[in-house]
């Protein structure tokens, strides 16, 4: 590896540059995963951080979590017969049911994807 140096106060200092990482939006699930890794999986967190794989990992977790929550919510709504017709007829009931489905899906994602 070719290294370049510059002199500072009589010492040769290497010119080190951090690798560029793409800008990624990390949302709720990525932050929950990062916090979990920091507190409970310190070795894995440090390894991913020093090898510059943490951001990529968190972006994948965020994407998987969002997709899974949406898919499970839709499946639960379909299984329970919650339709647009119910939404038009009884909006408050529809909102309550959809919130319950989303909460259940999030609990499943947290236990199977985030906190492992």
Q: Average model confidence (pLDDT) for the chain?
A: 93
Looking at the chain, the whole-number percentage of residues with pLDDT higher than 70 is 97
pLDDT at 18: 72
pLDDT at 105: 98
Query: Where in 1-116 does DSSP place strands (E)?
Result: 5-8, 11-14
Q: What is the per-residue pLDDT across 51-63, written as a single tens digit (0 to 9) for each? A: 989 999 999 999 9
Q: Which residues contact 44 (CB under 8 A, 6 or more apart)?
A: 37
**Mean pLDDT across 81-106:** 96
pLDDT at 24: 76
pLDDT at 15: 86
Domain ranges of the chain: 25-114
User: Which residues share a beta bridge with 14?
Assistant: 5
């Amino acid at each position: 590896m070719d290294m370049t140096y510059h002199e500072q106060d009589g010492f040769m200092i290497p010119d080190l540059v951090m690798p560029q990482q793409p800008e990624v939006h990390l949302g709720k699930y990525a932050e929950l995963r990062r916090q979990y890794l920091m507190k409970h999986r310190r070795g894995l967190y440090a390894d991913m951080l020093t090898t510059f794989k943490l951001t990529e990992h968190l972006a994948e977790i965020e994407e998987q979590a969002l997709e899974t929550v949406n898919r499970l919510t839709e499946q639960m709504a379909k299984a329970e017969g919650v339709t647009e017709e119910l939404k038009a007829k009884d909006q408050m009931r529809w909102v309550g049911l959809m919130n319950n489905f989303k909460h259940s899906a999030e609990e499943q994602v947290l236990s199977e994807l985030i906190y492992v």
